[in-house]
A and B are shown apart, each in its own frame.
Chain A
């Protein structure tokens, strides 16, 4: 047998065996739940490692804060105090509006809106595949996190929890191509579905009729239809409306309100039991991290 000089003689049976194993795993993973426990266990291990790696980054951030000049810290502190004051003022107004809303709903004999409780979570890792807009956060079933739970940041809706481990959860961002969220135009109340495009800075509204009352810079909020997302959270603003001749629908582009590509501190939204019709509504309370 002639000796190979430029190519190596590799094991074809082993290759075929591994290919068959991979195909078998894919079939089992897609059509059964047999691998779910093993997968969950491996994901827990992987997320623990990612959390440890995140600790290194957080330690670097802590040392940066500790080493920052006192003057910088004092200025930052002053700015934060001013922001807190403004936010407290806005919350007072919200509480009054919320109470008024509850009274009006009681007059209309409408069911009171359930309140919400928030829990702060930290980002621990990002899915390596750029085609999947998935992130992992540091709270799981031990904190009451559940599949389908809405996740927001300081500016708007981020996505929803799709998988929960004991101490971590996986969040599908609203910009992922597989994600869709029912929205309403704030003001006109027009309903639509906002779909992800695979681009962190663009969502699209599908099947919007040209006669509907939508305009540039309109704010879209979660409509609450379907019961998955609580109503009223900002989803984005309309940035482009394109209507091609002969097409039945217009193509509407939306810029997400949340900072999907930057936010590291997120909030998990817990729906509370509906308040009594005549009870004053309490504003959502933010639970500080441990």
Chain B
């Protein structure tokens, strides 16, 4: 559990101390990727409730409507859970594609809620994180695997 909290804490701090620049759209959604990793590899400890809690934290840090990211994290984690057995047998390249697809689903939910609540606008740049998520996933998965007790 300590490893999970520590990895999430690092991801949250890296995100909160991120850059203020237009290339910010290309930064990978680290908190989401770390959450997905633990949902996929620690299903007994990290489930939907865990994803919901992390989403609430992201809402609070980003001054978003409470529940917006929580709902998006929940939906994405649910999709990840559905794919769990399959993903475990994927090689890293295929896992990266899956991470991109899940990030796309996450962004779609966040944008849709933002538009419904009239608290955001639609910009194509928002979906740039899909590419960076695909690039970041192999590095992140390899780094977290070092912490992980279980063999893949």
Contact = CB atoms under 8 A, between A and B. Distances in A.
Interface of A: 4-8, 10-11, 14-15, 18-19, 21-26, 28-30, 35, 39, 42-43, 46, 49-50, 53-54, 57, 125-135, 163, 170, 177, 198-201, 260-262
A53 B12 CA distance: 10
A170 B121 CA distance: 21
B13 A53 contact: yes
B65 A132 contact: no
Interface string B110-152: 0001100100110101100000000000000000000000000
A20 to B, nearest CB: 10
A6 B20 contact: no
A53 B60 contact: no
Nearest to A6: B86
A35 B56 CA distance: 13
A7 B82 contact: yes
- Going nearest first, the 7 A-B pairs with the smallest beta carbon separation are A25-B67, A22-B71, A26-B67, A130-B24, A29-B66, A22-B67, A125-B16
Given A4-B85, A10-B82, A128-B61, A26 B113 contact: yes
Nearest to A4: B85
Given A26-B68, A198-B121, A53 B16 contact: yes
A8 B114 CA distance: 30
A37 to B, nearest CB: 13
A262 B70 CA distance: 30
Range, interface on chain B? 35 or more
- Tell me the interface secondary structure of chain A in the complex: mixed
B52 A22 contact: yes
Interface of B: 13, 15-22, 24-25, 27, 31, 43, 47-49, 52, 55, 57-58, 60-68, 70-71, 74-75, 78, 81-86, 113-114, 117, 120-121, 123, 125-126
A197 B141 CA distance: 36
The residue in B65, B71, B86, B117 that gathers the most chain A C-beta atoms within 10 A of its C-beta is: B71
A128 B62 contact: yes
Contact of B15 (A7, A35, A128): A128
Contacts of A177: 121
Nearest to A11: B48
A228 B70 CA distance: 34
Given A132-B62, A261-B19, A18 B52 contact: yes
Given A15-B78, A26-B67, A29-B65, A42 B13 contact: no
Contacts of A132: 62-64
B16 A128 contact: yes
B20 A262 contact: yes
B17 A53 contact: yes
A183 B126 CA distance: 30
Given A23-B71, A57-B17, A130-B24, A30 B123 contact: no
B106 to A, nearest CB: 12
Given A128-B18, A130-B24, A46 B67 contact: no
Contact of A18 (B16, B17, B48, B61): B48
B115 to A, nearest CB: 11
Contacts of A6: 85-86
B17 A200 contact: no
B129 to A, nearest CB: 9
A125 B20 CA distance: 10
Nearest to A50: B16
A138 B48 CA distance: 34
A22 B48 CA distance: 12
Contacts of A135: 20
Nearest to B129: A130
Contacts of B64: 129, 132
